[in-house]
Structures are given as C-alpha cells and as structure tokens.
Amino acid sequence: MSDTIVAISTPVGEGGIGIVRISGKKAFVIADKIFRSSQQKKPSQFETHKLHYGHVVEAGGIRVDEVLLSVMFASQSYTREDSVEINCHSGIVVLRKILNLIIKNGARLAEPGEFTKRAFLNGRIDLYQAEAVLGIIQAKTELALRSAIGQLGGHLSAKIREIREGLLDIRTQIEANIDFPEEDIPSVCLKKIFKKAEEARFRIEKILENAEQGIVLRKGILTAICGKPNVGKSSIFNILLRKDRAIVTPVAGTTRDTIEETIDLKGIPFRLVDTAGIRKSKILVEKEGIVRSQNSIREADLILFMIDGSVEIGEEDREIACVVKDKELIIVLNKIDLPQKISPQRLCQDLDLKAKIVRISASEEENLPLLEKTIAESVLQGAVHNSAGEALISSLRQKESLLKAKQALVNFKQGIEKKLSEEFLAVDLKEAIDCLGEITGETASDDILERIFSRFCIGK
C-alpha cells in the first residue's frame, strides 16, 4: 500500500486515446519529472480534476508524446490517494514508453484490480461496491449494467450494514451479561432480543429472494446446443448470434470443438455453446469433441436439444435424451420446411422428457422469434425484468454468506427455544455478524480479497 502504482487503463492497441493511471504518494512527484506544461506549471501545482495540455518528456527534454494530464487529490480520487491520469495517443509503443518512464521514476506496475482494492482498503467503497465495479466492466446486457450500477450506489450495502449493526447491539447486550455478572446490569430480555433477531432474519430472507436474478445477470445462463450430427446446431448458433461464427457444412461431424459466445435476449445474457454432434465415433479428434460436448451439457444451466424433424427418432437421439432429461430443457425441432417424420405431440412421450417444443427451420429462418422468446422466458419466468435496476446480490460468494448468516440466526432462535446458555447464543450471533461482514468487507479474509480483485483487469 505504500508503493506508488501505475498501469495502462485502456485496451492496448491503435486508437485515438490511451490512458495511463498513477496512484500513490509519489504520483505528483513523478508527474513533475516527466510532464512539461504549456503554462510552465508543475502538475503538483495544478487544480484537482482539471485537464492540462503539455508533453511527456524523457531525460534531456526529449518529447515522448503530446498529452492531456489531470491530477486528483487524495480526498477526491478513486483510490483516496494522490492520483494522476495521462491521456495520450493510443499505440502500443507510446503507451509502453510512458509506462516504462513512470516505472523508471519510482512507481511499480499495478496488480490486477489494485486500484479498486486500494479504494476499498482506504474506505472509499465497501467490498460489495468493489464487486459492482467489476460487474459494470463485465456487463454483457443493459439489464446487467443497470443492476451493477445500482449495486455501486451502495443501497444494499447500507441495508446489510444496518442488519449487522442491529445484531451487534444484541450481541453486546448478551456479552455484557456474560462478562460482568457481578455488575448491576439488567438481565437480558430474551423476548425482545428474539424479536430483533427474527426481524434481521426476515430482512436477510427478503434480500435472498432476488439473489438468483442478480447472479443470472452477472454470470449469464450457460446454454448448450446439443444433438446428433447434422441436425442444425451450428446453423442455429450462427442465427442467434447474427453472425457466421461456427462453420456450417452438409457434412456430419463438421463441428469438432465447443464454441462459446454471449447473446442478449430481453436483457438476459445467455452464454451459447455450440457443441459437436454426439454419436459413436472411432475418429480421435471427433471423440475428443464429443467428450467436450458431454462436459458442456453437464455444466449447462439450459439445454437446447436439437432434433431433425425430417427423419425418424434414432438411437442417438434417445441416448442424448437420457443424458439431458434432468436438465432445464427446450426441444428444438428443426427442418420443418421438409416433410416431417416426427409428431411434436408424441415427441416428449417417446423420449420420456418434459420440455417445451419449438418447431423451426434454421435454413428458412422460420419461427426464430418464437425460439428466442421461449429461451428468454425459460429463465426465472421473467422475474429478472421485475427487479431490473435494483441493487441485487450478484455472486455466489455473497449468496452463500447470506445463507450462512440466515442459518446462524435459525440456530440462535433454536438456542433460545432450548434455553441454552448465553455463551452459546453469543457464538451464533457472532457467526451471523461475521458472515454479513464478509459481504461488505468488514470481516473478509485476505483469501477472499485476493480472489475478488484477481479477476479485475490490471488498470482498474
């Protein structure tokens, strides 16, 4: 934390603008060394949050690039440290030259997420809000973005801290009675404490009601398109993406590996996976593709099981049906532009499946809006839209911490009903308080922090 850090905060490549960010106690000192203002002033003398025109220079006054530089005082910066941002031309050579010049003058390269980690450690944001920053960067749909922005606003953080503070008050009362029995402290009113703890549990349950929606918007729905070879999996994959991403040929077994892309259906991100056709094969490459397809099916949240309606149901279809029968499932009956050999009314019965059936023609692009609508409506029955824009739980880590806090309060309730000693009750309360603190960061371990911030890019 005592180091001054630097990173390129924009994608490296050719472009109009590239940004190099510096944060730490030496930020202004370094800027004074490498920047020459057209006003003949040093960056340490600039007003905060204003752009200044000049040049980055190296030893001997040799110009590196024409730039706009801004300084941000610690009290008003993202990291709560003195910060400098250099807006230069975006090119790999100029960006690296400025980066190396700053490192040479006393900074070090930032670790992934270190700017946001410093913002958290310096008290500008809590851990829940820090995860929202990552959510904004990674948002694949407008709904996901709105949810992350709501999370960054800190409304849910405030709710969780309020619940935690209430539990801390209860714990203080109980432990005072334990630690100072000889003092003239009134006995703990268990009825009143019981009521407060139950109110906290109900509030946690209310937050958990929308947890799945937040997680869906954050990570997306992993959707595997599966079926036997040559049923149109890659064709429908390309059509849903609206671009030719997968190779399509009349030859069965063309797809040999899984391909993943994300699409936006009614604001919900779906991570589409085009899989290799599943059949018995002696070809080594195809066999590996089939293994990967089977792994994708096991991991998927939703399956699009494609069947060729122009031929009879075959043994390969039945084997795939056995694999996918316990998954969230939509049967896509393809090639309806050809004479049909399969009855949609009997299909689920014949394959022993419970699923919605959508009849399409990938080649004629018939009924595709119906397929998109069915896929979108398969997720939480539209509940995602009802909570759009709210601050939601957005990760399994947050959900698990809430579930553990809820269970600790259930144990606390049972302890009161069983008339356990106050020492046992205090332990359950501490568990609930610590779990809530893991969400906002008050009690998060170094391992938790490392896992969270390692997923950020280096410049954020």
Pair 102, 199 in one domain? no
d(Cα 66, Cα 68) in Å, to the nearest integer?
A: 7
Query: Which is more confident, 41 or 460?
Result: 41
d(Cα 68, Cα 142) in Å, to the nearest integer?
A: 31
The pTM of this model reads: 0.74
Residue whose C-alpha is closest to residue 320's, from 311, 331, 310, 334: 331
Query: Which is more confident, 211 or 332?
Result: 332
Q: Residue 230 region, left (φ>0) first, then alpha (ψ -120 to 50), else beta?
A: left
Point out the domain boundary residue: 365, 384, 403.
Answer: 384
Where would I find the beta strands (DSSP E) of 337-411?
Answer: 356-359
Pair 371, 406 in one domain? no
Residue 177, φ and ψ in degrees, nearest 5: -70, -30
Residue 340, φ and ψ in degrees, nearest 5: -95, 140
Residues 259-277 have pLDDT tens digits of 788 888 888 888 888 876 5
Pair 234, 326 in one domain? yes
Q: Which residues are paired to 101 by β-bridges?
A: none
For residue 116, is it within any domain? no
Residue 404's domain is classified under what CATH number? 1.20.120.430
Q: pLDDT at position 249, please?
A: 46
Point out the domain boundary residue: 80, 110, 140.
Answer: 110
Strands 259-265 and 268-274, sheet pairing: antiparallel
Pair 315, 246 in one domain? yes
Pair 237, 327 in one domain? yes
Total structural domains within the chain: 3
Q: pLDDT at position 300, please?
A: 82
Residues 30-80 have pLDDT tens digits of 999 999 998 889 999 999 999 999 999 998 889 999 999 999 999 999 999
For residue 122, is it within any domain? no
Query: Which is more confident, 256 or 81?
Result: 81
What is the average pLDDT score of the chain?
84
Q: What's the whole-number mean pLDDT along residues 393-400?
A: 86
Is 316 a residue whose pLDDT tops 80?
A: yes
Q: pLDDT at position 251, please?
A: 44
Pair 172, 286 in one domain? no
Q: What's the whole-number mean pLDDT along residues 239-258?
A: 57
Is 185 a residue whose pLDDT tops 70?
A: no
Pair 160, 222 in one domain? no
Count other Cβ atoms within 10 Å, centred on residue 57. Answer: 16
d(Cα 274, Cα 276) in Å, to the nearest integer?
A: 7
The pLDDT confidence band at residue 287, using thresholds 50, 70 and 90, is low
Pair 350, 297 in one domain? yes
Is 190 a residue whose pLDDT tops 80?
A: no
Q: pLDDT at position 22, please?
A: 96
Highest mean pLDDT among 140-144, 169-173, 286-290: 169-173
Query: Which is more confident, 298 or 187?
Result: 298
Q: What's the whole-number mean pLDDT along residues 105-117?
A: 93
Where would I find the beta strands (DSSP E) of 177-336?
Answer: 221-226, 259-265, 268-274, 302-308, 329-334
Q: pLDDT at position 229, please?
A: 81
Is 256 a residue whose pLDDT tops 50?
A: no
Residue 313's domain is classified under what CATH number? 3.40.50.300
Q: pLDDT at position 203, please?
A: 93
Pair 302, 443 in one domain? no
Residues 207, 156: contact at Cβ < 8 Å? Answer: yes
Residue whose C-alpha is closest to residue 223's, from 289, 290, 299: 299
pLDDT-above-70 percentage for the chain: 88
**By residue range, what is the domain housing residue 406?**
130-210+392-453
Tokens coding 445: 């371990």
Q: Dihedral (C-alpha) 132, 24, 448, 142: value to the nearest 10 degrees? A: 10
Highest mean pLDDT among 5-19, 81-95, 415-429: 81-95
For residue 12, is it within any domain? yes
Q: pLDDT at position 191, please?
A: 79
Residues 321-378 have pLDDT tens digits of 888 888 888 988 899 889 988 888 888 888 888 888 889 888 888 888 898 888 888 8
Burial class (CB in 10 A: 0-12, 13-18, 19+), 112: middle
Q: pLDDT at position 350, please?
A: 84
Pair 239, 379 in one domain? yes
Tokens coding 127: 């851990």
Residue 10's domain is classified under what CATH number? 3.30.1360.120
Pair 203, 182 in one domain? yes
For residue 121, is it within any domain? no
Q: Looking at this protein, which amino acid is placed at residue 8?
A: I
Backbone CA torsion sign across 154, 156, 162, 168: negative
Point out the domain boundary residue: 384, 413, 438.
Answer: 384
For residue 279, is it within any domain? yes
Residues 401-459 have pLDDT tens digits of 999 999 999 999 999 888 888 888 889 999 999 999 999 888 888 888 888 888 888 88
For residue 117, is it within any domain? no
Query: Which is more confident, 460 or 278?
Result: 460
Q: pLDDT at position 3, please?
A: 93
Q: Which helix (H) or strand (E) element contains residue 29?
A: helix 27-34
Q: pLDDT at position 95, please?
A: 93
Q: pLDDT at position 99, please?
A: 95
For residue 458, is it within any domain? no
Pair 367, 228 in one domain? yes
Q: pLDDT at position 388, please?
A: 47
